[in-house]
Amino acid sequence: MGHKGFFTDTTICIGCKACEVACKQWNQLPEDGLEMTGMSYDNTGHLGASTWRHVAFVERPVPMPGHTVGLVDFSWLMSSDVCKHCQRAGCLEACPTGAIIRTEFDTVYVQPDVCNGCGYCVSACPFGVIDRREDDGRAWKCTLCYDRLGEGMTPACAKACPTASIQYGDVDELRERARRRVEQLHERGLGEAYLYGADPENQPGTGGLNAFFLLVDKPEVYNLPPDPVVPTMKGKESWAMAGWGALGMAALALGAVLLGRGSARE
């Protein structure tokens, strides 16, 4: 089947939200309410149990390189965020019931009929992607349209994107395409362009992402962690710190006992 994933080129996202609508329509997801968030034209705010694609509108008080006409002191960065389907997925490693699996397409999928709503996956995701739905407590996130992939179809969001900002395909081929795109942008003077999550060596905390991004500013600007790490990778450090803490408490207790004996003799 091969490794399937997304390459999202944020430089050509126009913020139309067609991906959000297509995702909700195909997956029959509930609406998020019609309240304005105050975050530019963003009315969904963040990814969640009923929002599997989220288009962010990042307003910056700086111009885009090469754009000196018009709003020289302002620029928009638009980005369609999604589950990263990590090579080393924190949600999958934390799930105690086996509800979260890796599919034959190398994507990460939550089986709703197995999920018991414990929420361990929510705290284990370094990207804050997965969440529990209020009505039944079960965890939900992007499935990379697993049902469509089985029929040889393109995921709904990529199919609906009018500018090819969201591209679907074999991950290795997408990485090559993404690298060529970065080179092209550098030649055009956009030296800030780089790939986020495409190279496993540059993101060892997750082993690389099957859904990666082309960005032109720091990850934090896009609400992405600069160095995401799955919690299990810190397990040895945590146990070591707990051990040192226990030794410290034992030393304090022993010191208190000896001090008490010395005071009693006096």
* 95 among annotated binding-site residues: yes
* 12 among annotated binding-site residues: no
Q: Which two tokens stand for residue 202?
A: 């540059």
* 59 among annotated binding-site residues: no
* 19 among annotated binding-site residues: yes
Q: What does the pLDDT look like over 203-220, one tens digit per residue?
A: 899 999 999 999 999 999
Predicted confidence (pLDDT) at residue 239 exceeds the cutoff of 50: no
**What's the mean pLDDT in 132-161?**
96
Return the amino acid letter for 14.
I
Torsion of CA 23, 25, 31, 36, to 10 degrees: 60
* 168 among annotated binding-site residues: no
Classified by CATH at the fold level, domain 4-229 comes out as Alpha-Beta Plaits (3.30.70)
CA distance 29 to 145: 13
Q: Are 157 and 166 in contact (CB under 8 A)?
A: yes
* 164 among annotated binding-site residues: no
* 83 among annotated binding-site residues: yes
The distance in angstroms from the start CA to the end CA of the chain is: 79
Of 128-132, 219-223, 249-253, the poorest mean pLDDT is in 249-253
pLDDT band at 16 (very low <50, low <70, confident <90, very high): very high
Provide the pLDDT for residue 194: 96
Predicted confidence (pLDDT) at residue 147 exceeds the cutoff of 60: yes
CA distance 248 to 237: 16
* 5 among annotated binding-site residues: no
Sequence-distant (6+) residues with CB within 8 A of 68 are none
* 86 among annotated binding-site residues: yes
